Structure 1
Amino acid sequence: MSIVPSLSPTEPFLLPNSLSLSPRLKLLLTFFRSDPAVRPIDEWQLRNSLLRFLSLPPLSLSVPDDDLLVKKRADLHKRRRDEPVASGTLYVRELGFLKKKKKEGEDAGGGGDEWKRFAEWRESVVRTLGGIELNLEGVGFEMRVEVPEGDDFEKMKRSWEEFQPLPGNRNYLRGAARRPDTIIVQGLPSRWFAEPRVSSKPSMLVSHTIFSAIGKIRKLNVAADDDLGKKGDETGGEIVSGIQCKICVQFETYDDFCDAMKVLCGRSLQKEGSRLKVDYEVAWDRNGFFKNVQQGLGSSHVQKRDDQVPALVGNIRNETRRHRSEVLHSDSSRQTKRFRE
C-alpha cells in the first residue's frame, strides 16, 4: 500500500530508531552586483538586510539566523562583471501556517490538495525573492533564487523521464525508457545509522530497518561519504573521515522508488532528543550503481535482499556481528582530519 496519499507536506514523517523527516523549504541564492561599484562585500550586512526583507509583507517569514547562510565568492578581484559575487542558502522550516490556512478554509476551491497549495506557496516565494535588489550603503545587489532539484519531486521526476544516457554509458543501448529504482542519499550522520552502544559506524542492519519504512528494499549499500570530504577540501575546510555516510537503496518496484523520493524530497532528518537538523542531499541513480558493484567496479559491500534480513528472530546476535563486520570502514592509510564547526 502506498504511503504517499497519507503524506503531508507540512507534517513530519516518522521513521524507526527515533528518527523523523521534517518538511522545509530550501532555496539557493545567488548575488550579483547591480552597479559598477567595487567596494568589498559585507556578508553580515547583506544577510541582515535579507532577513529584514523576509520578515516584511508579503512574505512575513520568521527565519532564524542559522537558517540563512551567505558567503562571498573567492577571488572577487578576478571575476567578470556578469559573474556572481556571493551565494547563499535559505531554509524555511516553520510551515505550520499552511496547515492553519486549510483549517480556516482559505484554500476553498483547491480540492483540499495540500501538495498543490504547498507548491503554489513555494512558487510565490521564489517569484517574490527572484530579482529583488538590495541596496547596502549605496552598493546595489540583485538576487536570483532557485529550488534545488533534490527538493522538488516533480522536477526530479521530469529529470528521469527525460534522461538520455550518454554514449559509452552501460545503459545507453537500452535507451531512456528504463525506469529508475535506486536512490542515493548523501550527508547522513553515521552515528544515527549505527548500532547503539556497539559502534559509531553506520550499520547495514540499522540502515535497512530505517529505509524499509518508506519502501520494500531489494539491495542496500552503506559507505563513507567521500564526496563530503572532497567538498571540504575544495572550500578549505577540514572534515573528519567517516562522520557522515552515503546510502544507496534499490527498491523492489518503481512505485516504491517514487514513494521514497516523495518522502525524502524537501525534508530534513531529525533525531528525538537532538536539536540538530540534517539537510542531506537526495538524488536518483543515473549510472547503474549496483550493476557496477556486481561487476567488481565498486569497493564496498552490497547487501542483497534475502530471507535472512526479515528472519532475525533467533539469530539476531550472529547476524548483527556479520552485518557490522561488512560495513564499509574508512581507509586507515588516509591522514585523519580534524573536524571544524
Structure 2
Amino acid sequence: MSNRPLNSLRPTETLELESGLSLVPRVKLLLTVYRADKSVNPFDEWKFKRSLIDYMKSSFFITVPEEDLQIRKFKDLNKRKREEPVARGRLFVHDLGFLSKVIGEIEDDVERADKKFLEWRRGFVEKLNGIELNLEGTKFKLNVAVPMSDDFEGMKKEWEEIIAFGARGYQRSAKMQPDTIVLKGMPSRWFAETRVSSKPSMLVTHTIVSALGKIRQVLLVVFISSIRLNLHVAEDNSIGDGADEEDIVSGLHCKIVVRFEKHKDFHDALKILCGHSLQKQGSQLRADYDVTWDKDGFFLDARHQIEERKRMPARGMEERDEGHRQHSRVSQFSSEEGRKRFKE
C-alpha cells in the first residue's frame, strides 16, 4: 500500500490500497446518441461502436477496447419521437499513458498537473461532442458529457454554495463543511475475508477505506437481488438504511458510506476517487463505481434522531404509553361489541 499523501498524487497515477486493490486512473464519459437525418433505419449497436472506436483512433490516436465502450439502444424506439435519443452508453479510457506528454513526465506541481489534465479532458469532450457518424448511409449524432461523479470541481462548487446559502444538514458556517462520501457499485466480494466468507466484511472494508484518511464512521449496504443487508461500523446502532430502490445494482454489489474525521481527508479522498476505477490484483476486471458527497447529512440526521430520543422527558413517554393503553382498550371494546352484535 502506498504511504504517499493523497494530495501528492498526479491525476494519472495509481493508488495502492489494502487487500490487493488499487485505484487506477481513467476517463469516463456519458454518451447519448440521436438521429442526425430523417432516416428511420434500425440502430445497430455493434456498427456504432466500431465506427466510434475507429474515429477516436484516427482523430485522437486513442485506442479503446470494445469492452470499454458500452452502447445500449432504447427498447421503445418505435414509440420515440424523432428528436428523442435512440441509445445511450458509457465510454472509458483506461490507458492514459499518452497523457505523459500533455501533463509532463516530471511535473512535480500537482495543481499544475491537475489543471493540464482537466484542460485536456475538456478539449477532448468538446471535440467529441456533436460529431456525426455515418453508418451505411444513416447518420447519428453523439452527445458527450462528463458524469457528475467524475466532476470533482463541480461537486466542490456545489457544497461551497450550500454552505454559503444554507441547506438541509448544513448551517451557514465554514465550520460545517461536508465530511461524508458515498460510493456505489462496489463489488461485494472484493471487500470480503476470502478465507472466511464470500460476503463483504466490515473489518476488510474499514481497512481498505482507511487508506484514504482517518475515518469516523462507515456504513456498508449490501444488495443481493432485492435483499438489502446493512452492516455498520459507527458510534451507534440506530442509523437508517440510507438506500432506496434506485441504489440496488444488478448482481452482488454494495454501497459504502464513509464519514471522515476531518474535512481535509474528505476533500483529498473525494478528489482521488473521482476519475479512478477500482481494480483487483490478478484480475482484468475493474469496478467503475459512482462517487458523490453526502448532501443530505446522513450521519448528522441519525445522530439528531438519537439525541431527540434521549432528550424525550419521562412524562412524555408515560403519556404516550397511557394513550397507547387507552387506544388498545377502545379497540378491544369495539371488537367485543362487534362480535356480540354479529351473534345477535
Q: TM-score band (shorter)? A: 0.7 to 0.9
Residue 135 of structure 1 corresponds to: 134
1:46 aligns with 2:52: no
Question: What amino acid maps onto 1:287 in structure 2?
Answer: D
Give distance in 1, aligned partners of 2:7 and 2:267: 12
Post-superposition offset of 1:231: 7.2
2:162 aligned counterpart, secondary structure: coil
Residue 303 of structure 1 corresponds to: none
Post-superposition offset of 1:166: 11
Give distance in 2, aligned partners of 1:228 and 1:21: 27
Residue 5 of structure 1 corresponds to: 7
Residue 31 of structure 1 corresponds to: 33
Residue 154 of structure 1 corresponds to: 153
User: Which deviates more, 19-28 or 191-200?
Assistant: 191-200
Question: What amino acid maps onto 1:14 in structure 2?
Answer: E
Residue 116 of structure 1 corresponds to: 115
**Please, which runs of 5 or more residues in structure 2 have no aligned partner?**
229-242, 307-344
Give distance in 2, aligned partners of 1:181 and 1:291: 10
Asked if the contact 1:163/1:176 (under 8 Å) is kept, the reply is no
Asked if the contact 2:179/2:266 (under 8 Å) is kept, the reply is yes
Deviation string, structure 1 residues 158-211 (Cα, Å, up to 9, x no partner): 1222238999x7537x35863211000011111111123111121111111111
1:162 aligned counterpart, secondary structure: helix
Residue 275 of structure 1 corresponds to: 284
Residue 338 of structure 2 corresponds to: none
Give distance in 2, aligned partners of 1:26 and 1:279: 9
1:220 aligns with 2:218: yes
Give distance in 2, aligned partners of 1:48 and 1:281: 26
Residue 314 of structure 2 corresponds to: none
Give distance in 2, aligned partners of 1:103 and 1:119: 14
Q: How many residues of Structure 1 are paired with residues of Structure 2 in the alignment?
A: 284
1:208 aligns with 2:210: no
Question: What amino acid maps onto 2:293 in structure 1?
Answer: W
Question: What amino acid maps onto 1:204 in structure 2?
Answer: M
Residue 84 of structure 1 corresponds to: 85
Asked if the contact 1:126/1:145 (under 8 Å) is kept, the reply is yes
- Superposition pairs for residues 255-270 of structure 1, below 5 Å? 255-270=264-279
Percent identity of the aligned residues? 49
Post-superposition offset of 1:263: 1.2
Give distance in 2, aligned partners of 1:165 and 1:189: 36
1:96 aligned counterpart, secondary structure: coil
Give distance in 2, aligned partners of 1:268 and 1:50: 23
Residue 262 of structure 2 corresponds to: 253
Give distance in 1, aligned partners of 2:295 and 2:127: 33
Question: What amino acid maps onto 1:192 in structure 2?
Answer: W
Post-superposition offset of 1:103: 5.2
Give distance in 2, aligned partners of 1:54 and 1:228: 38
Give distance in 1, aligned partners of 2:168 and 2:147: 27
Residue 317 of structure 1 corresponds to: none
Residue 318 of structure 1 corresponds to: none
Query: Structure 2 vs 1, CA of residues 144 and 213 (structure 1 numbering), >3 Å: closer, same or farther?
Result: same
Question: What amino acid maps onto 2:45 in structure 1?
Answer: E
Give distance in 1, aligned partners of 2:290 and 2:201: 20
1:113 aligned counterpart, secondary structure: helix
Asked if the contact 1:186/1:280 (under 8 Å) is kept, the reply is yes
1:94 aligns with 2:95: yes
Post-superposition offset of 1:80: 2.0
Residue 76 of structure 2 corresponds to: 75
Give distance in 2, aligned partners of 1:70 and 1:117: 29
Question: What amino acid maps onto 2:62 in structure 1?
Answer: L
2:139 aligned counterpart, secondary structure: strand
Indicate the RMSD between aligned Cα atoms, in angstroms. 2.8
